Amino acid sequence: MKKYDYLVVGAGLFGSVFAHEAKKKGRKCLVIDKRNHIGGNCYTEEIEGINVHRYGAHIFHTSNKEVWSYVNSFVEFNRYTNSPVAKYKGELYNLPFNMNTFYQLWRVTTPEEAKSKIEEQRSEYRHITDPKNLEEQALILGGKDIYEKLIKGYTEKQWGRPASEIPAFIIKRLPFRFTFDNNYFDDIYQGIPIGGYTLLFQRLLDGIDVKLGIDYLADKDSLDRLASKVVYTGEIDKFYNYCFGKLEYRGLYFENEILDLENFQGNAVVNYTEKEVPFTRVIEHKHFEYGRQSKTYISKEYPSEFSKDDEKYYPINDERNQILFHKYNNLADKEDKVIFGGRLAEYKYYDMHHVIEKALTVSKINIE
């Protein structure tokens, strides 16, 4: 008889939702994480009374009512709506691309004028019928000005390669609208947990054994002996000792500052879209929760080949990496005692609501 039904590797969103569901069905779980905190990349830490998003800005959004009710059953969400502002050579533009942006770019004031301006901007690229990369996709979506002022510099900094070598699907994430609506997301529900994301994780993991600062792969055999099954949310290539080679990730690092100032930039997120500025965005954390503290905490976000702390941020889902991932995934499919889930184990550009959906589905299938 093993002490636990499940050893859950990773106290991020996938691991915590899975463990919560397992406990609900009477299963015993041990959750471990190699970091010294729960929450994975959603972790927030209170500094100067401000909930700081330690691994980058996290805005919860979904159109799935079940997922929205689920997260709200643990913690209350505020009315935060993500409306980033883009700064290009000293000029400000609203995002996502909407009537405000079109006015700021071309002084057009009606949807009809905006559409005809964009038509004119796109006319040079009509020959592109099947966009093969992000550059082509962006040019046929919005034309030259939008691409050059708001997309090219940001994207090339973010991904560290020319936009012509980046998969087109990444830019399809950006909505395009002909209304004066600065809401970055199209989803029905949106907000930030009041009190920070860490509270959500504390409540998900309430009553569950959690051990931090433990690297599963460093002590795999003895940890495996503790439970009948393993739920693994770490990197899939590392699990298999990189036997087919390493999957690539885009790294990030944050330059953090506490400023003796009440309000630095008037918005939680300001994107710097020109190539000459080395960071992609500046996050002013207090604005996620309408903070009135006397100080403010800001993070400049720098994309990098690898993050300094070796954290894996964005999977690079290009052809080479996808082929490699499938090799690992074929091995994973053959495991009967290990369940793989989450953005690292599935090598997927997952939003939080997708991870919750997946963890709920996987737990329904696996826990009778």
Which C-beta is closer to ligand UDP: that of 182 or that of 271?
271
Question: 32 is in the binding site of which of ligand FAD, ligand UDP, none (Cβ under 5 to 8 A by kind)?
Answer: ligand FAD
Verify binding: residue 352, ligand UDP, rule CB under 6 A: no
What is the SS3 string spanning the chain? CCCEEEEEECCCHHHHHHHHHHHHCCCCEEEEECCCCCCHHHCEEEECCEEEECCCCCCEEECCHHHHHHHHCCCCECCCCCCCEEEECCEEEECCECHHHHHHHHCCCCHHHHHHHHHHHHHHHCCCCCCCCHHHHHHHHHCHHHHHHHHHHHHHHHHCCCHHHCCHHHHHHCCECCCCCCCCCCCCEEECECCCHHHHHHHHCCCCEEEECCCHHHHHHHHHCCEEEEEECCCHHHHCCCCCCCCCEEEEEEEEEEECCCCCCCCCEEEECCCCCCCCEEEEHHHHHCCCCCCEEEEEEEEECCCCCCCCCEECCCHHHHHHHHHHHHHHHCCCCEEECCCCCCCCCCCHHHHHHHHHHHHHHHCC
Residue recorded with tokens 């500094």: 47
* 172 is a contact residue toward ligand FAD (CB under 6 A): no
* 84 sits near ligand FAD (criterion: CB under 6 A): no
Verify binding: residue 338, ligand UDP, rule CB under 6 A: no
111 interacts with ligand FAD by CB under 6 A = no
CB nearer ligand FAD, residue 105 or residue 356: 356
Q: Which is nearer to ligand UDP, 234 or 303 (CB)?
A: 303
Q: Which is nearer to ligand UDP, 50 or 86 (CB)?
A: 86
> Which CB atom, from 23 or from 152, has the smaller least distance to ligand UDP?
152
CB of 112 to ligand UDP, least distance (A): 26
Cβ–Cβ under 8 Å, residues 210 and 38? yes
Q: Under the criterion CB under 6 A, does residue 174 sit at the interface with ligand FAD? A: no
> Could you say which of 94, 271, 307, 317 contacts ligand UDP (CB under 6 A)?
271
| 223 belongs to the binding site for ligand FAD (CB under 6 A) | no
Write out the catalytic residue numbers: 173, 177, 250, 281, 301, 349, 351
Question: Among 9, 11, 52, 86, which residue sits at the site for ligand UDP (rule: CB under 6 A)?
Answer: 86
CA distance linking residue 277 with residue 206, whole number of Å: 43
Backbone angles phi, psi at 6, to 5 degrees: -130, 135
Residue 343 touches ligand FAD, criterion: CB under 6 A = yes
315 binds, among ligand UDP, ligand FAD, none (CB under 5 to 8 A by kind): none
Spatial separation of the C-alpha atoms in residues 289 and 74, rounded to whole Å: 17
Please report whether residue 158 would count as binding ligand UDP according to CB under 6 A: yes
Q: Is residue 173 involved in binding ligand UDP (CB under 6 A)?
A: yes
- Per CB under 6 A, contacts with ligand FAD among 248-307 are 252
Looking at 18, 159, 197, 216, which residue binds ligand FAD (CB under 6 A)? 216
| Contacted entry of ligand FAD, ligand UDP, none for residue 173, CB cut-off 5 to 8 Å set by kind | ligand UDP
Give whichever of 47 and 57 is closer to ligand FAD, judged by the CB atom: 57
Stretch that binds ligand UDP, among 70-78, 153-161, 202-210, 250-258 (CB under 6 A): 153-161
Nearest CA-CA partner of 189 in 33, 12, 333, 60: 60
- Residue 220 CA to residue 206 CA, distance in Å, equals 25
Q: Is 82 in the site for ligand UDP (CB under 6 A)?
A: no
Q: What residues line the site for ligand UDP (CB under 6 A)?
A: 86, 95, 150-151, 154-155, 158, 170-171, 173-174, 271, 273
Q: Which residues bind ligand FAD (CB under 6 A)?
A: 9-15, 32-35, 40-42, 56-60, 215-217, 233-234, 252, 313-314, 342-344, 350-353, 355
